[in-house]
Structure 1
Amino acid sequence: MSCRQPTRRKFLQTAAAVASVPYVITSKALGQGDVPPASDRIVMGGIGIGNMGASDQGAFLGRPDVQYVAVSDVRESVRKTAKERADQHYKNGDCQTYNDFRELLARDDIDAVHVATPDHWHAIMVIEACRHGKDVYCQKPETLTLREGPLMIDAARRYARVVSGGSQRVLEDYKELVGRCWGGELGEIKSINVNVGPLSQLCNLPAETTPPDIDWEMWLGPAAWAPYNAARCSGNFATDGGSWRSYVDYSGGGMTDWGAHHFGGATFAVDVRELQPVEIEFHNDPEGKHLTFKYANGILLHHNRPKTENLVVEGTPGEKRPAKPVPTYKGEGGIYGDFIHCVKTREKPFRDIELAVNTVAVSHLGTIAYQLQRSLKWDPAAQHFPGDEEANRFLDRARREPWQL
C-alpha cells in the first residue's frame, strides 16, 4: 500500500466529493464525424498539470478517442488553468478539479490517468492508481529509488494494469542509432557511452512566505519537511539548481532526468533494455571520474567516459550480423497513442513500466557508485548489492507519514 487507510471522516468527505461529480456527457456523446461515441472513448484524468503535465494533458485532449474529465494539482491556479483548457476544448464546464489526487482516483468513471508530478511522488501515485483500477502513463524518471521500481512493476502486474513510462525520446531521438544497431551494420555490439549529469544536490534555500495558491504540505508529501521556497518547487527543466529536478529530496538531477532519455536510448540501441547491470565499475582517472556498467551478456555501458561523445557505439568493424525487427509504438499518435492503444487492447506499451524501471535503475546504480566512490556488484533478481551493507542502505529512503510504500 502506498499510504495508510484514510480515516472514516476522510473517506466520507472523499465519497461525498465523488458523488457530487456530474455524469459526464457532451454534445458528442453519441459520436459524430471522426469522434467515437462516449462508450468507446477512454475516460482520463491528470495528476500534476504544471509544465510537462500540461503538455501531456494537451496531447490526450487532442485525441478523439479520449474523454478528459478531471485534473489534480496542489496549485489552485494550475488546476484552474487545466480545467479551462479541457472545458474550452469540449465547450462545456465538466472537467472537475482536485487538490488531493486520491479523490480523483476514487472516481469509478475514470479509466486511466497521466502522472507528471515531481519524481518523489511517482511510485506512490502509480501504485495507488493501479490499486484503484486505473491504467497509468507516468512521466520519466519513473522512480526516485531502486526499491520503488519492483513495487511499481508488481502493482501493474497484480492489478492487470497498463503502465507506460513517458520518455518519447527513447524511440524518437535515437531512432537512427537504434536502426543501425538492430540492422546489423555495426556487427556485434560491444559497448555504448552515455554522457549525462549532474547528480542532484542538497537544497538549503531559505524560507519564503508560502503563497495561498499552493498546498505546501501536499507538495512535499513523502519528502522530508522543508520550508517553502519558490525555487525549491519550480517545475522548470534545469537540473543544476533552482528547480525541484535539481534536489536530492525530489529528484536524481540530470543523472535521472536526462538519464531516462539517454540511458533509455542507449539500452534500447544495444538491446539490453530488458536487463539490469550486474556490476558497476568506478574509475577515478586523471581525466575524470566515470563508470562502466557490465551486463551479464557482456555488453558494456560507459558513463561519461573521457574523450568519448554521447551515444558512441563500439561494434565490430567490417562485420555485419542479421537484422532484426525494431520494436516500435503501437497504434497512432506517438507514445501517447501507443499508451491509449494498449489501454484498449491490454497489450504492453512500448515503454512498459518494467523497461522504464530497468532504464532508471542504471541512473540510480550509477549515482550510488559515485556517492560511495567505489565499484559495486548488483543482483538484478534479488534487487540488492550482495554482501554490501553500506550500498544496500541506498536502496530506499525514509518517507513522511502517512506516505509509506
Structure 2
Amino acid sequence: MDHKSSRRLFLRNSLSAVAGTIILPHIIPSSALGMNGFLPPSDRIVMGSIGVGSQGVSNMKGFLPFKEVQLVSMCDVDSGHLGKASAIVNQYYKNTDCRTYKDYRVFLEKEKLDAVCISVPDHWHSIAYVASANKKLDIYGEKPLARSIGEGQQIVKAVQKNNIVWQTGSWQRSVANFHKGAELVFNGRLGKVDHVEVGLPNATKLIGMPPIKPVPAELDWDFWLGSAPKVEYRGVCHWNWRWILDYSGGQLTDWAGHHIDIAHWGLGLDRTGPIEVSGEGIYPPSGELYNVPMEYDFNCKYKSGVVIRVANAARLPHGMGVTWYGENGWIHVDRGDKITASKPELISEELGANKKALYKSDNHIGNFLECIRTRKETITPAEVAHRSISVGLLGEIAMTTKQKIQWDPVKEKIINNVEANKMLMRPFRAPWKIPAI
C-alpha cells in the first residue's frame, strides 16, 4: 500500500486524537493541538489551494469552518492574491504558517496534501486538474470542467485512472429547490418531458480595444496566459478574462455547469449527451477585445426525442433558470430558492414511498469532505461535469460554424463535419501541454 492510500485509510478510520507523545515548541496555536473545536492534525484533511482570486477566496472561506480541514498552503501567479488570501487563513488559524507559491508545479512537488481546491481561469483547468490528479490528490474543481471537450475527456480519464475523489463547483445540486425540481421531473411528475428551456445570462458590455499597459509587478502575465496565445497586457485579467474566447466561452460556458447540469439531472441524462445541436450566436464586431457571444440560442436534441433549448434569459418566457415542459405542465427552478409550476399541486404533492430518490446533499463542500473519508462518489463527479459543459461547447461549435452538429455521445465525436471535429480540442501554446496520465 502506497503512502497516499494508507493516509486515506487512516482518515477514513480515524476520528479520535492521535496517541503518543510529541515535543512542542513553547508557543503553538490551539488549532494545532486540537483545541477550541479543532481536530488534532492527524485527523484532519490537509488541503491546499491553486488559484486564490475572487472565486478561489470564496471557496477557501467555504472550507475554513470545517473542523476536519486544515488549509496549509496556496498557489497563485499573482502575489497580491497570495498576500490577501494567506492573511485570511493565518488570521483564522491564529498563526503565520500558510505557505505560498507562484508556480503550481513547485507547489505540487513540495506540499504533502490530501486534497486541493482549484479555482483558476478556464484555460488552465485541464493542466492544473490533471497535474493534481496525477499526484493522487482529491480535487474540488471549479466549473466549467474544461475549455474544450478534448480537455474534459482528459480530466475525466485522469480522475478515473488515479482513483481520486472529484467534486465540481456546480453547487446548485446541493440546494433544496434545485434538488426538489429535478427529483420531481425525474420521477415523472410532468409525465413525458418533450422540451426544456435553460436561461443563461447575457455577456458584459463591450470595451473596445484598450491600449497596451505595463504588467503589474505582482502579476506573472506570461504564466497567467499559460497555454493561451501570447498577447500584450491590456489591463484585463482577473475576472474579466471570461469575456475573451482564448480563456472562456463567456456566460454560456460559465453557466453551463450550473443550469444545463440541473436540466440533465432531472432528465436522467447527466452521463450522456445530445445527438444534434444547432442554433445561432451574435458575436461582437472585429476589433473588440471581448469576443465571446453576446447572445446565443441553440437547440440540443437527445436520443429520447427531448430537446433542450439554451438561450439568453431574455429570450425565454421564464427567464433565468431551468424549465421542464411535459404532458402535465411545467416546473421551473432558479436561484433565490425559486421553484414554481403551471399548477401548484405539481410541486406541493409528495412523491411517496416509491419515489426514485436523487443523490441528496445539503452542503456542497461538506459532501466533498465526506466523500474523501468514505471514498464514495460526490454529487457532481467529473464525468457529469464533462457532460454538462460539453453541451455548451457543442453549442459554441454550432454557432461558430453556423451548421447543425451531429454528435455521437458515446464516442464523443462530431460525425457530420470533419472541420468541426477538429474544434473539440483547442491548440496549446508551447511548451504547455496536458500532463501525461
Q: Per the shorter chain, which TM-score range?
A: 0.7 to 0.9
Structure 2 residue corresponding to 1:185, chosen from 182, 185, 189 = 189
- 1:189-338 equivalences under 5 Å are 189-198=193-202, 204-230=209-235, 232-235=236-239, 243-282=240-279, 290-304=297-311, 307-310=316-319, 311-317=322-328, 323-329=355-361, 334-338=363-367
**Whole-angstrom CA distance in 2 between matches of 1:33 and 1:356:** 37
Measured in 1, the distance between the counterparts of 2:100 and 2:365 equals 22
Correspondence 1:377 to 2:406: yes
2:96 corresponds to 1:67:
no
Match of 2:79 in 1: 76
CA contact (8 A) 1:193 1:308 kept: no
- Displaced runs of 4+ in structure 1, greater than 3 A? 25-30, 197-205, 281-284, 305-308, 318-323
> How many Å separate the matches in 2 of 1:104 and 1:139?
19
TM-score when normalising by structure 1:
0.84
User: Cα distance 1:275–1:203, how it changes in 2: closer, same or farther (>3 A)?
Assistant: farther
Q: 1:180: Cα distance to partner?
A: 2.7
How far off is 1:393 after superposition?
A: 2.0
SS at match of 1:225: coil
Amino acid at match of 2:395: G
Equivalent residue, structure 1, for 2:130? 127
Rate the CA distance shift 1:99–1:202 in 2: closer, same or farther, 3 A.
same
What residue ranges of structure 2 are gaps of 5+ in the alignment? 1-24, 282-294, 331-345
Q: Is the 8 A contact 1:202 1:247 kept in 2?
A: no
Q: Describe the SS at the equivalent of 1:312.
A: strand
- Mapped to 2, the partners of 1:217 and 1:85 lie a distance apart of 27
Structure 1: tracts of 5 or more residues without a match: 1-22, 236-242
Offset, 1:197: 5.0
Counterpart residue type for residue 353 of structure 1: A
Contact 2:170–2:258 (CA under 8 A) maintained in structure 1:
yes
1:111-152 C-alpha deviation (Å, 9 max, x unpaired): 111111111001110000011121111111111001011100
How far does residue 289 in structure 1 lie from its aligned partner after superposition? Answer: 7.0
Show the counterpart of 1:118: 121
Code of the residue aligned with 2:417 in structure 1: it is: D
Give the corresponding residue for 1:11: none
The root-mean-square deviation of aligned C-alpha atoms, in Å, is 2.6
Aligned with residue 40 of structure 2, among 37, 45, 64:
37
Is this contact kept in 1: 2:278–2:399, CA < 8 A? no
For residues 76 and 304 of structure 1, the distance between their equivalents in structure 2, rounded to whole angstroms, comes to 38
The amino acid that maps onto 1:380 is P
Give per-residue Cα distances to partners, 1:49-76, cap 9 Å, x unaligned: 0101001111111110001000111111
Deviation sequence 1:12-64 (CA, Å, 0-9, x none): xxxxxxxxxxx9x8533342354222111100001110101001111111110
2:167·2:368 contact (CA, 8 Å) conserved in 1? yes
Q: Which residue of 2 aligns with 1:146?
A: 149
Q: Is contact 2:165-2:376 (8 Å) kept?
A: yes
Q: Which amino acid aligns with 1:367?
A: E
In structure 2, C-alpha distance between the alignment counterparts of 1:312 and 1:229, rounded to whole Å: 40
After TM superposition, the structure 1 stretch with the greater mean CA deviation from structure 2, 186-195 or 298-307, is 298-307
1:328-348, Cα deviation, whole Å (9 max, x unpaired) = 22xxx6111111111111111
Asked whether the equivalents of residues 146 and 389 of structure 2 are also in contact (C-alpha less than 8 Å), the reply is yes
- Tell me the distance in 2 between the aligned counterparts of 1:166 and 1:297: 28
Alpha-carbon offset, residue 178 of structure 1: 1.5
- Shift, 1:227, TM fit: 1.0
Aligned 8 A contact 2:406 2:416 in 1: no
- Aligned AA for 2:161? R
Find the counterpart in structure 1 of residue 341 from structure 2.
none
Query: Per-residue deviation at 1:277?
Result: 1.1
Residues 379/199 of structure 1: CA separation in 2 closer, same or farther (3 Å cut):
farther
**More displaced 10-residue stretch of structure 1: 105-114 or 92-101:** 105-114
Contact 2:174 2:363 in 1 (8 A): no
The code of the aligned residue for 1:313 comes to W
The 1-side partners of 2:249 and 2:128 are apart by 18
Q: Quick one: structure 1 residues 83 and 187, their matched pair in 2 at CA, closer, same or farther if it must change by over 3 Å? A: same
TM-score using structure 2 length: 0.79
Aligned partners of 1:90, 1:197: CA distance in 2, in Å? 38
* Partners of 1:291 and 1:246 in 2: CA distance: 19
User: CA separation in 1, counterparts of 2:260 and 2:64?
Assistant: 30
SS at match of 1:301: strand
